[in-house]
Amino acid sequence: MMAELSDNEMDRDEELIPKLAAAATHAAFLRSVAAGHTLVMAKNGVLVRVERDGSEIPLRAATAKHRVKAWEAFRIRQLSSS
């Protein structure tokens, strides 16, 4: 049987969720780079390709061309090699 949480305990636990999500996202990024994958990410309003060696190549301004709904899959056709 699980003990019930007080409102304060529940609030404290809920405040941890964004911190845990940020830590998990950062850990996934580090694992991907360490595995030698090339990544694309938004940084300071610019789409940036992060190469295997950690170098960053700006691709273009990150503009909102497409609305993506939560849990909706989408495909990226091709990155231009500019």
The closest of 42, 67, 37, 69 to 54, measured between CA atoms, is 37
pTM: 0.56
Structure token digits, residue 77 = 């056709």
- Contacts with 52 (C-beta within 8 Å, 6 or more apart), sequence order: 33, 36, 37, 38
In the predicted model, is pLDDT for residue 4 greater than 60?
Answer: yes
* Tens-place pLDDT, residues 25-78: 999 988 988 898 888 888 888 999 988 888 999 999 988 776 777 777 777 776
- The whole-angstrom separation of Cα 82 and Cα 70 is 30
Residue 11 has pLDDT above 80, yes or no: yes
Q: Which of 72, 70, 47 is nearest to 58 (CA)?
A: 47
**Residue 82 pLDDT > 60:** no
